[in-house]
Amino acid sequence: MSYKILAINPGSTSTKIAVYEDEKEVFCETIDHTDQDLNNYEHVSDQYEFRKEVVLSRLAENKISTEQINAVVGRGGMLPPVKAGGYLVNQAMKDRIINGPIISHASNLGELIADAIAQPLGIPAYIYDSVSSDELYEIARVTGIPEVSRQSFCHVLNAKAMCRKVAGINRKTYEELNFIVAHLGGGISVSIHEKGRIVDVITDDAGPFSPERAGSIPLLYIVDMCYSGQYDKRSMLKKLRGYGGMKAHLGTHDCRTIEKMIEEGNEKAKLIYEAQAYQIAKGIGELAPVLSGKIDYILLTGGVAYSKMLMDMISERVSFIAPIVIMPGENEMESLALGAYRILSRKEEYSTYIEGAQNSLES
């Protein structure tokens, strides 16, 4: 039997949609959202109806009938820790996304939009390799504050997809190799993969600053800002996610614009761009000891990896650790669709989300 799968991937400034027939892409489009589009909504969760209607409208414009779809798969959001792989979207999952507590992130809309399209059609909605997939070593969870335990929030979907691709190119499997992956997008995360498992991560709020996120900041400064009376919780969160990083320093998160500024002799732009590369390299180096330096490849991926200038600066600092593979963009739509295809064709089983249960991989 042939399967048609609709994949939906909400990002901070875009929503990507694709239709696959079995393992073959038949349609793919990135719907960009301007600041003007998104500034109308106080919270990311408020964008749900807008993004859903944009997806349905774009499918209709391209004469793609949802009646022919066998399953919808969305990017999994910031759920409590879950296993990597596929989950069927159920009411417990939706309740957690809608009612929280949950970190605000565009990926949270993936399961909601997928389910809204799938339910009237009587077909399944899945998520795959959720952002909160958690395979960490137990030792990696420990922090200096006993009440706080580290969780594995990173760009799981793209990181695992790119590892599988590099392994295949080298006639290996993902489960045979060790990788450090720096996903370089609107947010930056760095993850270390031991033979098919992400065993430690640097999350987008704990490492390098990015085009629009502040990354790691000395905590005492943050405490002072929070109690200064100048900021409320919402404005502080905006400083950390959305209006931090290069956007805060230079007024733009577009690498092409920043590189043009550098070419025109803007010394501040040059310093900030180099600082971002410097911090990314530090993040990669920070994870290398996790596997005692036994790293087969360092992967630089995500939209920012299209910047040769930035990739050269990073590579110069970390090439001594392992061979570097630069894979610009992302493989997320294919990874989502093929994950759903493996479930539909019974090559892989999906998991069931149960609120309050241990959904993550036991360490």
Residue 308, C-beta contacts closer than 8 angstroms, at least 6 positions apart: none
**Res 154 pLDDT > 80:** yes
Expressed in angstroms, the distance from the first to the final Cα of the chain is 38
Separation CA 53–CA 13 (nearest Å) = 16
Closest CA to 259 of 213, 306, 212, 319: 306
The reported pLDDT for the residue numbered 357 is: 65
Strand partners of residue 183: 189, 301
d(CA 22, CA 4): 6
pLDDT at 363: 36
Q: Would you state the pLDDT for residue 359? A: 62
Cα torsion at 110, 113, 117, 120 (round to 10°)?
120
Q: Is the pLDDT confidence value at 119 over 80?
A: yes
What class is the 4-133+332-352 domain?
alpha beta
Residues 67-112: tens digit of each pLDDT: 999 999 999 888 888 988 999 999 999 999 998 877 888 889 999 9
Predicted TM-score of the model (pTM):
0.82
360 pLDDT above the threshold of 60: no
Q: What is the pLDDT of residues 297-326, one digit of tens each?
A: 999 999 999 999 999 999 999 999 999 999
Looking at per-residue pLDDT, the higher value among 55 and 154 belongs to: 55
pLDDT at 358: 57
Instruction: Quick: pLDDT tens for 45-59.
Output: 889 999 999 999 999
CATH code for the structural domain at 138-328: 3.30.420.40
153 vs 151: CA distance, rounded Å: 6
Vertex 269, ends 266 and 274: CA angle to 5°? 125
Confidence label for 268 from pLDDT (cuts 50, 70 and 90): very high
- The answer for 56, left when phi > 0, alpha when psi is -120 to 50, beta otherwise, is alpha
Per residue in 9-20, pLDDT (tens digit) is: 998 788 999 999
- Is the pLDDT reported for residue 362 higher than 60? no
210-235 residue pLDDT tens: 999 999 999 999 999 999 999 999 99
Confidence of residue 244 (pLDDT cuts 50, 70, 90): very high
Instruction: For 155-199, write each residue's pLDDT tens digit.
Output: 888 899 899 899 999 999 999 999 999 999 989 999 999 999 999
Structure-token match 């570097």, residue found: 324
d(CA 288, CA 134): 19
pLDDT: is 337 or 359 the higher one?
337
Q: Please tell me which residue, 27 or 155, carries the higher pLDDT value.
A: 27
The pLDDT assigned to 352 comes to 95
Which of 359 and 344 is assigned the larger pLDDT?
344
As annotated, the residues of the chain forming the CATH 3.30.420.40 domain(s) are: 4-133+332-352, 138-328
Q: What is the pLDDT of residue 155?
A: 87
d(CA 18, CA 30) in angstroms, rounded, equals: 9
Q: Is the pLDDT of residue 345 over 60?
A: yes
Higher pLDDT, 308 or 332: 308
By percentage, how much of the chain surpasses pLDDT 70?
Answer: 98
pLDDT at residue 258 greater than cutoff 50: yes
